[in-house]
Amino acid sequence: MDELQKSEFLRLFMKHQKQIYNFILMFVPNYVDADDLIQETAQELWCKFDTFKSGSNFVAWACTFARNKIMNYRTVKNKSK
C-alpha cells in the first residue's frame, strides 16, 4: 500500500469508525467484545484496502467485513455454551 492509499484508508476509517462500531453494537451488545471486533475489523480492512473501489460506499464495504467478524464471534460463543 502506498502513502496515498494509507492516507485514504485512515481518512475513511476515522470518518466512519463510529458508524461501523455502532453496526457491531447492534449485534454484539457487550462493549468489551465490540471493542475487540472493531479492532479485528480495522485490521482486516487495512490488509484488504486494495480491494476497496475508491468512490464507493466505504461503510457498506467495511460492514461486510464486520458482519463476518460478528458471525465468527457468535459461532465461537455458541460453541462455548
pLDDT at 8: 97
Determine contact, residues 8/52, Cβ cutoff 8 Å.
no
The reply to whether the predicted model has a pTM over 0.75 is: yes
Determine contact, residues 24/70, Cβ cutoff 8 Å.
yes
pLDDT at 71: 97
**pLDDT per position as a tens digit, 25-77:** 999 989 999 999 999 999 999 999 999 999 999 999 999 999 999 999 999 98
